[in-house]
């Protein structure tokens, strides 16, 4: 296929239009292969949360020390995520992906064998580094494997891994730790990693533009940007540390948190300047910041941040609410989320089918409106809410996420050259993961602060001078004395006061949960106009040539 162009001299010149590269294997088998490892990695980010008390007890550590098992993983993950595209330039995407699978599998086995907390944290750093390269590599593989009109269906598989895994992680983690030992939450990754490694070696291949980049790097010599990578590690590593430990250490009330906030800001500002300088002198930057010149990618980046914020906030919020206020077990709390996971599994293929037929902007708008409505409906929750009520609210939330994940990821690749697919996937995953970390930190901070505020307001009239309070104390005291046979009235009065305090504390916490839902609802509604900044996407041709 050829087209004719006219040069400045006025003479026609022939411009060759090349047909886009497609892999030799079945694209859907390739999609299943790469989704397997990503599901394993995303599952591991949530499955370890419920096992922290068991890990602390098994290794003789405190609960605060055990949280480093989570923090170390998140920090290493955040550093590798945006740099994954950079490393594929030197070693190839398939080789990089397989190296990440090997590192994740081996470090998972070592985590299960760890004899001490210090060794476990070290192996979790390696595991986070290996896992950080899986998601971006898979997304880039899918973008290159499928033509534009099928990307939505391919991203539906990826969405199942990213959205459903955090929902079933707590349930699976609780079941494993209750019935076996916490070490098996790491051991189960090993056979999955081996299977993924075998299938990847057989089915996945690098496209020509990756092969060409690797050959060019070998010819010119591998010149790694050590300073840029150091800035990247300091910036995003400090950010994850601050988000994970901020509420625990009282934010700016802690000198350590303040120091890391300053380090994060200085590192990221310097990184932006350094990366732009690398572009000016013709060097390969670690972060391709030129992507933000594209309106569709810049908007998609923000929307993915909001998606991650909402997804992880609600995933943390609901189990915490039912366990702390309604007395659910960890396994029962997981069952509340499970129907939402099944809803996503049902909706993702439907949305993937619709994406090539419906304007993605309409789908994203509908998704955010449905998510906002479900958060508004959560204001009906109380301390008497039933399992069924909570389950249905979660199903509505899950249905909205299906309408967000696929269309947002699809528009992020709109108009981007195939050679930059790796850069898009790395930054897109970074936006979602950082959004999730910010959302989790936001929930922890606001829950603690708003609970204190509501408790102070509710407790204003609970004084000895208030007749209603005194009448309630004597009523409860008489009830307890008649049913427990306690001889001392002072004991029953103290018990009655403790009972009222527990009621106030529960009501204050319930109001704090409602406050968080209100903020999330407003946040989701606020980004709806942003969707329409993006122009109408071009029609996705089935096999449009690349000129």
Tokens of 502: 């527990």
Alpha-carbon span 496 to 144, nearest angstrom: 66
Residue range 262-298, pLDDT digits in tens: 999 999 999 999 988 888 887 888 888 888 988 889 9
Say which DSSP state 3 is in. Answer: E
DSSP codes joined into one string, 388-401: HHHHHHHHHHHHHH
Residue range 322-373, pLDDT digits in tens: 878 888 876 777 778 778 878 887 888 888 888 878 888 999 999 999 999 9
pLDDT bracket for residue 10 (50, 70, 90): very low
pLDDT of residue 540: 44
- Which of 257-261, 281-285, 311-315 is most confident? 257-261
Q: Residue 347: in which H helix or E strand, if any? A: helix 330-354
Q: Residue 483: in which H helix or E strand, if any? A: helix 467-484
Cβ neighbors of 512 (< 8 A, separation 6 or more) are 446, 447, 450, 451, 453, 454
Q: Is the pLDDT of residue 541 over 90?
A: no
Tokens of 136: 């971006």
Tokens of 311: 């997804």
Reduce the secondary structure of 510-524 to three states and give it as a string.
HHHHHHHHHHHHHHH
**pTM reported for the whole predicted model:** 0.80
């Amino acid at each position: 296929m050829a087209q004719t162009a006219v040069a400045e001299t006025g003479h026609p010149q022939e411009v060759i239009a090349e047909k886009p590269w497609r892999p030799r294997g079945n694209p859907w088998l390739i999609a299943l292969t790469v989704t397997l490892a990503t599901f394993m990695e995303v599952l591991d980010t949530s499955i370890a949360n419920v096992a922290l008390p068991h890990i602390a007890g098994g290794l003789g550590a405190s609960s605060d020390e055990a949280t480093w098992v989570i923090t170390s993983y998140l920090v290493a993950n955040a550093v590798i995520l945006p740099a994954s595209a950079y490393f594929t330039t030197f070693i190839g995407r398939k080789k990089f992906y397989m190296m990440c699978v090997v590192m994740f599998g081996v470090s998972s086995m070592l985590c299960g064998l760890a004899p001490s907390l210090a060794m476990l944290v070290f192996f979790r750093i390696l595991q986070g580094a290996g896992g950080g390269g899986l998601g971006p590599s898979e997304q880039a593989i899918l973008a290159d494997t499928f033509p534009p009109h099928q990307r939505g269906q391919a991203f539906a598989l990826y969405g199942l891994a990213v959205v459903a895994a955090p929902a079933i992680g707590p349930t699976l983690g609780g079941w494993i730790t209750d019935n076996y030992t916490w070490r098996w939450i790491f051991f189960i990754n090993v056979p999955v990693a081996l299977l993924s490694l075998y299938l990847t070696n057989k089915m996945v291949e690098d496209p020509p533009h990756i092969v060409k980049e690797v050959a060019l790097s070998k010819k010119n010599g591998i010149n790694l940007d050590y300073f840029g990578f150091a800035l990247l590690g300091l910036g995003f590593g400090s950010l994850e540390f601050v988000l994970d430990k901020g509420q625990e250490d009282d934010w700016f009330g802690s000198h350590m948190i303040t120091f890391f906030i300053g380090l994060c800001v200085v590192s990221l500002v310097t990184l932006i300047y350094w990366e732009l300088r690398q572009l000016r002198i013709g060097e390969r930057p670690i972060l391709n910041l030129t992507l933000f010149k594209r309106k569709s990618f810049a908007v998609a980046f923000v929307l993915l941040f909001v998606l991650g914020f909402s997804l992880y906030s609600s995933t943390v919020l609901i189990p915490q609410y039912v366990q702390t206020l309604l007395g659910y077990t960890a396994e029962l709390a997981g069952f509340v989320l499970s129907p939402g996971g099944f809803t996503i599994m049902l909706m993702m293929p439907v949305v993937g089918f619709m994406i090539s037929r419906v304007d993605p902007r309409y789908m994203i708008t509908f998704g955010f409106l449905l998510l906002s409505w479900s958060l508004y409906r959560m204001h009906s929750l109380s301390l008497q809410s039933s399992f069924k009520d909570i389950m249905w609210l979660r199903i509505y939330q899950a249905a909205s996420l299906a309408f967000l994940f696929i269309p947002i990821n699809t528009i992020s690749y709109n108009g981007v050259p195939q050679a930059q697919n790796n850069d898009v996937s790395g930054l897109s995953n970074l936006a979602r993961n950082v959004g999730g970390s910010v959302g989790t930190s936001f929930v922890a901070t606001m829950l603690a602060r708003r609970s204190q505020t509501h408790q102070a307001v509710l407790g204003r009239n609970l004084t000895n001078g208030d007749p209603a309070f005194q009448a309630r104390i004597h009523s409860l005291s008489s009830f307890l004395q008649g049913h427990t046979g306690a001889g001392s009235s002072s004991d029953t009065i103290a018990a009655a006061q403790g009972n009222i305090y527990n009621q106030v504390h529960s009501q204050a916490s319930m109001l704090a949960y409602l406050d968080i839902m209100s903020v999330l609802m407003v946040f989701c509604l606020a980004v709806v106009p942003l969707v329409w900044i993006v122009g109408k996407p071009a029609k996705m041709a089935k096999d449009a040539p690349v000129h």
